Amino acid sequence: MASILIADDEPRISGFVEKGLRAAGFATRVAATGPEALQALTDEFDLMVLDVNLPGFDGFHVLEQLRGSGSRLPVIMLTARVELQDTIAGLDGGADDYLGKPFFFDELLARIRVRLRSDDAGASSDPTHGDLRLDVRTRRAHLGDQIVELSAREFALAEELVRHAGQVLSREQLLSRVWGYDFDPGSNVVDVYVGYLRQKLGAERIETLRGVGYRLTTPSPR
């Protein structure tokens, strides 16, 4: 599952974007200042949504430091500064896209997906395991010739399991990657959604290691 850093100092905006991205199946993290954004970038992300007007130092400086380090992380600038010179400065400074506020979330989401597909063009974009294939473009699962409809969260959980097939993933790992960093660790949401996937993909496909976590396995042939 792709993870996205949201660098914006307006809680109303960052909260709105974060909620929408999580609902779409992404992991997210928010940084409210320029220094926080650069510190957060010591961790791995797949894309950054970057505001220009950040406290500490602005988004242009964050972008300059990021590109100066050699990073090719996709960056979409999301800002109220939409004057032509600002747009040119952002794109010339290494931003992959520039979107003005106010904005439609669906447009931001579409631009994010385009950038992630472009960045992943050389990688295997559709994870597979046995007869199970996940289509990251349509967000559907394929069991042989059968198409299985999944919700955004079911798909994100399935993607984590398939990309780490054979590995044991703890509930804490799945909570962090699928539901986000600040989700209640005492929640049973992982168990609930594993149940949903078992109903749709086959109960024998996901193994429970009691007290440890879950593992995707290859079902025995019938």
146-149 and 140-143 beta bridge pairing: antiparallel
Compute the CA torsion angle 209, 215, 221, 222 (nearest 10 deg).
Answer: 50
For residue range 23-59, list pLDDT tens digits in order: 888 889 999 999 999 999 888 889 999 999 999 989 9
**Average pLDDT rounded to a whole number, residues 195-220:** 90
CA pair distance 78, 45, nearest whole angstrom:
17
Contacts of 34 by beta carbon, 8 Å cutoff, 6+ apart: 7, 54, 55, 56, 57, 58, 59, 61, 62
Find the range with the poorest average confidence among 92-96, 127-131, 193-197, 198-202: 92-96
Fold category of 3-119 in CATH:
Rossmann fold (3.40.50)
Compute the CA torsion angle 61, 67, 71, 75 (nearest 10 deg).
Answer: 60
Q: Taking the mean position of all CA atoms in its chain, how far away is CA 186?
A: 22
> Which amino acid is residue 144, in one-letter code?
G
Any idea where the domains of the chain sit in the sequence?
Answer: 3-119, 128-216
* 8 Å CB contact between 140 and 148: yes
CA pair distance 50, 34, nearest whole angstrom:
10
CATH class of the region 128-216: mainly alpha
> Which amino acid is residue 5, in one-letter code?
L
For residue range 143-202, list pLDDT tens digits in order: 989 999 988 788 889 988 998 888 888 888 888 777 764 556 667 889 999 999 999 999
Mean pLDDT, the chain, integer:
85
What 3-state DSSP class applies to 181?
A: coil
Q: Tell me, what DSSP letter sits at residue 52?
A: S
